[in-house]
Amino acid sequence: MENKPIKSKLVISLVVLFTYAAMQFVPEFYAYLIFGKDRFNALNYTSLLCHDTNVVLCFLVTLCIAGFSFKKMLEMLGLNKGLRSAFLLALLAALPQIVGLLFLHGFRHGVSFMDIWFNGIHPGYHEEIVFRGFLIGILVRYAKWPAIIPLILSSALFAMGHLYQAHNFSESVTVFLMAFGAGTGFYLFYKYTNWNLWFPLFLHSFMDTSTVISNWNGNIAMSLEDNIFRGATLVLAIFITIRVNRNVKNKVYP
């Protein structure tokens, strides 16, 4: 007998979209209901608190959609397989950018673990779980949306979240287009590695960390020299993704 869907496509769609909308009010929740506005603004790493709350919401809501099956929740978010292999492959892919930025800009002495966590690791797991694993992944895989709709939606929202890096209109356009392309690329890495979110999650974190541990200073557009090494990382990541996808079809990838 064919398994019944966990929830209807309409219910899944509404729950996912409502949850993402609710995430936009998490700062207000803490500022006005928990800490008070002045105390909240005085806290260090408020964005870390809010973003981690969003991640927890993704897990809890997905757990509900999955009928409170922890195993199914991990599957729905693309976190149920290939953690070790994804870590090693993502590190391999990120090496050109890591080495390149250290070569061009030197090592940032005095960088702390909190710097690496906040600016390197944290954006990777937060953005991949929220945008790729939860928003686009569930809408495409379980609510059966045409991929183009949530892809454009999530990539646009992802890009808008990076506009703080721009200082004028032309920079805003560049940052938006670069971030939009990055969001699309990370989705394709997710899809074509057999819906293994660990690969884009680790790749994203390693690439961000390379900018933290080096003396690099700029925005997502980067300089021509920086983009040579970032391009090498992306080419290597694409090659790895193609090989993984081929192995999936040949049933040799876990």
Q: Tell me the pLDDT tens digit for each residue of 132-154.
A: 999 999 999 999 999 899 889 88
Determine which of 14-18, 73-77, 247-251 has the lowest per-residue pLDDT on average: 247-251
The average pLDDT across 240-245 equals 93
Q: Dihedral of the CA atoms 103, 109, 113, 114 (nearest 10)? A: -110
pLDDT at 251: 62
Residue 248 confidence (pLDDT) above 80: no
Classified as helix, coil or strand, 251 is coil
DSSP 8-state assignment for residue 31: I
Q: How confident is the model at residue 7 (pLDDT cuts 50, 70, 90)?
A: low
* Residue 169's pLDDT band (cuts 50, 70, 90): confident
Q: How far is CA 231 from CA 93, 182, 234, 238, in A?
A: 11, 12, 5, 10
- Alpha-carbon distance of 160 to 142, in angstroms, equals 26
pLDDT for 108 beyond 90: yes
* Tens-digit pLDDT profile for residues 57-89: 999 999 999 999 999 999 999 999 999 999 999
| Cβ contact 203:98 at 8 Å | no
CA–CA distance from 194 to each of 21, 38, 92, 251 (Å)? 28, 46, 19, 11
Is residue 111 left, alpha or beta, with left meaning phi > 0 and alpha meaning psi from -120 to 50? beta
What per-residue confidence (pLDDT) applies to 227?
A: 94
CA distance 232 to 217: 20
pLDDT of residue 1: 38
Going by C-beta distance under 8 Å and a sequence separation of 6 or more, which residues neighbour residue 239? none
pLDDT at residue 33 tops 90: yes
Confidence band of 166 (pLDDT split at 50, 70, 90): confident
Strand-pairing partners, residue 214, are 107
Distance in angstroms (rounded) separating the CA atoms of residues 12 and 185: 25
Residue 29 has pLDDT above 50, yes or no: yes
Q: Report the predicted TM-score, pTM, of the whole model to 2 decimal places.
A: 0.91
pLDDT of 163 reads 81
Q: Is the pLDDT of residue 252 over 60?
A: no
Across all residues in the chain, what is the average pLDDT? 91
Note the Cα 76 to chain centre separation in Å: 15
pLDDT band at 254 (very low <50, low <70, confident <90, very high): very low
- 250 pLDDT tier (thresholds 50, 70, 90): low
Long-range contacts of 28-37 (CB under 8 A, 24+ apart): none
The torsion of the CA quartet 132, 51, 116, 90, rounded to 10 degrees, works out to -10
